[in-house]
Structure 1
């Protein structure tokens, strides 16, 4: 049902607002008392366990000190089935602190979410919260000192903190096989893009393959021209050396003409920040930027949208200042 999707999306946005302003954000109608919570930034336990309402509220109350926290919800997906729902999102964030009105300290990180919701008493409640935080760059000491970040090198070792999210078990498509959510054509397209990126970020290349048309082709500034087979092969080989990838896309200019659609996107975090080409100053610290941009063409066959072509260009693209409501 449509209202289920809308309610969960609104409540997840409220949950993110609590990151910026926990004192003035009411979560009493969102999280259950016995919520299961796994946060990758928790050092004490290798599974990131911080269960119950007290655990979630403690995380928000003891959020590392910052002057500003900006975020944007990308790749939002919510699939529902009667009184159960699984929701995912990718949220790029920037924490900022000015020092003596001259120096800007910052930390850029992206949060991967996989959450389970349950409906009772006529409302949706967040019952299971899984969150992996991927740090990109920065020098804000409070983040470095108070949050735990597992080393990025691949391979298992005793005591390692494994990711909190297992894509094959926690994705919206795994937990809710058949969704009763009624989506608009634009939202269907957005979900296909999110599924494609979920596959890349969580090493589920079946998802990536499912979202690409058999005649798919791409022009990528990293790798040149590629067809579907070459593209998946390159991405699998390139992906395996990293603990996480993140592909938060901001979609725009979606134009639908029957069974054909085009759209533009900005990649809001993921690779360029690792060497930090964007230097923050007092003048640009509130500027939102992307690290790549591109476009998709999609076609609809047998009721399903698939990506048939993509152009992708690396670069720093300034998008204007963050909205004040995110302060």
Structure 2
């Protein structure tokens, strides 16, 4: 098998390869961000990613048991001698990920935590030592730290429902209950961009009998649209949702169930894996990957959204005003107008030309 260039891998994955001597027995890796890592490891095992695109790539490696997120049924099976935890973006998510790791551990298992210094591995190490005081730093490599805890104490079966929380958000006199998990964008309440988007939807609703919420997060937009229609005693439209992250998909389904909303929630890395046409598409897309500004997902979405928007259908999108989306919307969909802007956010509306 041809070796993958180390430079093609994230720093944390390179740091693991440098410390393969720490791995023994059956192996589980949590938080994989590049499936190329598996090509460099001689053994199989369990590999979990929260990213739908990475998960799809993991599934192509037959000697590995690929898992999508924290509620994959395969995570309840087997016991592992070595569990690698890659540092997630959110501190609260690391606590959840370590709990999952401990639920997968065999007796006398080793837990290995790896993360970049600039992304907070120092604080992550403190979280690890809170449950495994014997943990120690074993290496600094590729701008990362590698921590190891031998003979970690196994934990009870991991249940994602134990980490689920609820909050109430309100806009234009209509409130809904929203599910939250560590690492979810909407967990800290309704953000200003979504608030502005919902305000425009209340004032100028999208005229569509069926809609799609791209990058739906915890399902706020779709659930609110339907709750607003119920409150106004107008026809309720189904709103499908799509997101790339496992926690978002879990939360969106829970939010829809709690608020009696109707629609299908898809896990997909963009629109490429989704079939269908919608007369209305709404979105508050993210523009960060970790700590870096990254508009590539939204730019890809805007290039491909025409193929999923019915002729004459409307796209309604909110974004930070400094992002270069207006020209892309005009180029790929049609004439674009700004429904509202406040210097920080802008709500765009465009209709697909016939």
**Of the two, which has the highest radius of gyration?**
2
Structure number having the greater strand percentage: 1
TM class by smaller structure: under 0.3
Bigger relative contact order (CA 8 A; separation at least 6): 1
Structure number having the greater helix percentage: 2
With the length of structure 2 as denominator, give the TM-score of the two structures: 0.26
